[in-house]
Amino acid sequence: MWVPVMKQIQTFTSTYTADVSGVPSALYELGGMSIMHDASGCNSTYNTHDEPRWYGSKSLVFISGLSEMEAIMGDDQKLVDDIVKAAKDLKPRFIAIAGTPIPMITGCDIAANARVIEAETGIPTFGIDTNGMHSYVEGAGEALFAYGKAFIKKDIAKSPSKKVRVNILGATPIDFSVNGQIESIEKFLEQNGFDVISNYALSCNIEKMANAALADVNLVISSVGIKIAEYLLAEFKIPYVIGVPYGKKLKEDIINSLNKAASGESDIIYASDLNEKLKNQGVYIIGESVTSKSLAKAIYYKHGITPIVISGVELGNTFHGDIIKSLKVRENVALEEKDLHIEDEDEIAVAIKGARVVIADPLYKPILSSKTKFAENPHEGFSGRLFRKRIINLVNKF
């Protein structure tokens, strides 16, 4: 007897923040207006679960209030008119429109509407092609890329500097919460003689962000920052290093790689000595690829254990894919061959069935074996505000 099996259903665990929420999260502090084109459902999910800054600071994040009749009849003019009216009243620096499942199904051309709105308002407008079917990595990555293309100065004069100048790319509260991790990364770089030009884009400075082309090298701290890093490499010849400064030895690696990369050679700091040195020791880390791989290497340096990383979200969009190939990792992926990219709950459960230790968000615990030891590492994009107070500043931990 054939029994149909439904895939991609989360029965015991949560789901990651959607791509549509990733857009306003990436752009939250930048003075623009973000619109989620949907029927008034995404706004409450976004501001209560995905956005820790919502009750402490202001940002222009709206829902379009798409009605059933508008969806059926394809009335894009109402969307355009509403956004134009709001923009004329509020005068944002830019406008970003993020799609959701309904406009995807009805064939709404978000990019075309953005062009119409920009023509009518004179305000830079981005149509971000999200559809609610992917994770925040897709939406936030595209949003930072669109913002960088629009606002990074292209004719800026780059003079010699005694210090190596660095941009931090991929800083969002979804991966790093608001517990001081980004500030700790900036402090780490400054204490080691680097000049931090800007960060994209948490606790950031929009004037400094416009000068990103002044940097000698970029530090990519999450998969959200990969696409804008590759854009800066292709457009301004700025190389990048991928990794998060967790632990003393890994911090030394990042310092050395940044100095080396400033001379023109990009690097992924965890993609060399963890491949086949040791066999699987039954330790797994589930989470976003860059932060998880950095944690894995910090654990390797401190304890001699090589955890396998399971990325539960997309691995980052790319702008200039050949660069990733040159770094000798899988195309478009900041993972190694022994690692896994699995977004399906059932497949993750199979992968960790015999695990000795699993490090993950607490909401993964229900799919673990009773014999598996669990070490919690809460992730804002998976469990929202539930465990926010228990999120550790890993930059200062080791």
Q: Using one digit for the tens of pLDDT, what is the confidence trace for 309-341? A: 999 998 876 665 565 556 554 444 567 778 898
Q: What is the pLDDT of residue 318?
A: 64
CA-based nearest residue to 226, from 319, 336, 335, 339: 319
Give the whole-angstrom CA distance, residue 221 versus residue 291: 7
Question: Is residue 13 included in any domain, yes or no?
Answer: no
Average pLDDT, the chain: 89
The verdict on 26 and 142 lying in the same domain is yes
Last residue within a domain, chosen from 268, 299, 325: 268
pLDDT at 123 over 90: yes
Question: Mean pLDDT, to the nearest integer, of 229-248?
Answer: 92
Question: Mean pLDDT, to the nearest integer, of 138-164?
Answer: 94
- Domains: count for the chain: 3
Question: Is residue 157 included in any domain, yes or no?
Answer: no
Q: What is the pLDDT of residue 332?
A: 45
pLDDT band for 270, please (50, 70, 90 cuts): low
User: Can you give the residue range of the structural domain that contains 219?
Assistant: 164-268
pLDDT at 122 over 80: yes
Q: What is the pLDDT of residue 174?
A: 96
The verdict on 236 and 288 lying in the same domain is no
Q: What percent of the chain has pLDDT over 70?
A: 90
Q: What is the pLDDT of residue 322?
A: 62
Question: Mean pLDDT, to the nearest integer, of 219-238?
Answer: 92
Question: Mean pLDDT, to the nearest integer, of 41-57?
Answer: 86
Give the whole-angstrom CA distance, residue 23 versus residue 31: 13
Last residue within a domain, chosen from 151, 180, 198: 151
CATH number where 364 lies: 3.40.50.1980
CA 104 from centre of chain: 22
Last residue within a domain, chosen from 240, 268, 296: 268
Question: Is residue 11 included in any domain, yes or no?
Answer: no
Q: Residue 282 class from Cβ within 10 Å (0-12 exposed, 13-18 middle, 19+ buried)?
A: middle
The SS3 call for residue 53 is: coil
Instruction: Check residues 393 and 306 and name the one with the higher pLDDT.
Output: 393
Question: Is residue 191 included in any domain, yes or no?
Answer: yes
pLDDT at 44 over 90: no
The verdict on 177 and 240 lying in the same domain is yes
Question: Is residue 159 included in any domain, yes or no?
Answer: no
pLDDT at 371 over 50: yes
